Amino acid sequence: MQTIGERLEEARKRKGITIREAAEAIKIRSEYLQKFESNQYDIRLPEIYVRGFLRSYAGYLKLSADKIISDYNALGPSTAGKSRPPLNRESYGHLEISVATAPRETPPAAAQTVQQSASAQGGAGPAGPADAAAPRNPVTFVPRPSGGLPIDKKLLIKAGAIALGTLVIIIVLLWAVFGGRAAKTDASSAQTAVPAEIWLRPQAGEPVLTLVSKNGPVSVKAVPASGGAILYQGIIPSGESRAIPRRGALRIEAEPFQNLDMEIGGTRYSMPEPRRADGTRDTASMRSAADVAAP
């Protein structure tokens, strides 16, 4: 018949885990688990801890905890009931016990309470005034590091809120500076965008005037001299032409004027140079206007 330690060791190896991994999982020192697997139960702790640790370890390994405790009790008082020396303030395992010492013999109900508390992984229960006045549990007590400053949670929350508010203000300011500039740029681009091309195409057999772009794109506007609907308005790319109906006298405007020729009846005419009101040349202007007589 297998001993308790052999069953524990076999179950642990079947799960493929090390003693250290098991100790971290159930919050019990690895040396205690190693002693249990070697059938050594004198770990210098009261019996209530030994039984609780055995029950927790058996439950973690998917063994019958009641069977393990029953076999442990059957070992006799020489092993199971051995007295233990007083405890010092040290963390032996993450097992929640309400008192620092325990009776030598523990009923099964008390042992089960220990197991349930151990399986909670250190979750502390509600503490009353009596618990606050009682000495600290030597099993779960962890000494507080010396030299550390207490943390004020309210102050920490307030500092976080201030930092978040500052970040929001910075984001708003950046958006106001760069976003507004981008919006102005977009508006300016929209204002200077090329308008849609207006082109009234001639009908079959109708007299035609052809606008020819040369040397580069040219902005052109062609309207009847007497007023009326626009015959053409837009930018003619370099090398392309636009034929419009020649219905009476026309007025043609071009910029830059050097890039536009007008073709009438197979004959090409260049745009005249810009003129001032007094009739002299305006060499600084790139816009020129020409009046075309009626056919």
Cα 225 to Cα 247: distance, rounded to the nearest angstrom: 10
Grade residue 77 by pLDDT with cuts at 50, 70 and 90: low
What's the mean pLDDT in 176-187?
72
DSSP string, 248-287: SSEEEEEESGGGEEEEETTEEEEPPPPB-TTS-B-TT---
Q: Which helix (H) or strand (E) holds 218?
A: strand 218-224
Fold of 4-133: 434 Repressor (Amino-terminal Domain) (1.10.260)
Contact 256, 225 (CB under 8 A): no
The predicted-structure confidence for 198-253, as pLDDT tens digits, reads as follows 999 999 888 999 999 988 899 999 999 888 789 899 999 999 999 999 888 989 99
Residues of the chain with CATH 1.10.260.40: 4-133
Tokens linked to 79: 């092993």
Taking the alpha carbons at both ends of the chain, their separation in whole angstroms is 125
What is d(CA 67, CA 58) in angstroms, rounded to the nearest whole number? Answer: 9
At residue 88, the pLDDT reads 44
From the number of C-beta atoms within 10 Å of its C-beta (0-12, 13-18, 19+), residue 268 rates as: exposed
pLDDT tens sequence across 256-272: 988 999 999 889 999 98
H-type alpha helices, the chain: 4-15, 19-26, 30-37, 47-60, 65-73, 108-119, 129-133, 153-174, 180-191
143 close to 89: Cβ distance less than 8 angstroms: yes
For residues 29 and 92, is the Cβ–Cβ distance under 8 A? yes
pLDDT reported for residue 132: 45
Q: With a cut of 70, say whether residue 285 has pLDDT above it.
A: yes
Residue 109 main-chain phi, psi, to 5 deg: -65, -40
Backbone torsions φ then ψ of 240, nearest 5 degrees: -105, 170
Determine the pLDDT at residue 125. Answer: 43
Question: 137 near 98, Cβ under 8 Å?
Answer: yes
- Whole-model pTM: value is 0.36
Residues 6 and 23: their CA atoms lie apart, in Å, by: 17
| Mean pLDDT along residues 101-106 | 46
What confidence tens digit (pLDDT) does each residue in 84-93 have?
444 443 444 4
Instruction: Decide which of 273 and 148 is more confident.
Output: 273
Amino acid found at 195? P
Token output for 27: 């919050």
Confidence (pLDDT) at 213? 95
At residue 281, φ and ψ (nearest 5 deg) are -70, 140
pLDDT at 185: 66
The identity of residue 59, as a single letter, is: G
Q: Alpha-carbon distance 58 to 75, whole Å?
A: 17
Amino acid at 15: K
pLDDT digits (tens, 9 = 90+) for 37-59: 999 998 888 999 999 999 999 99
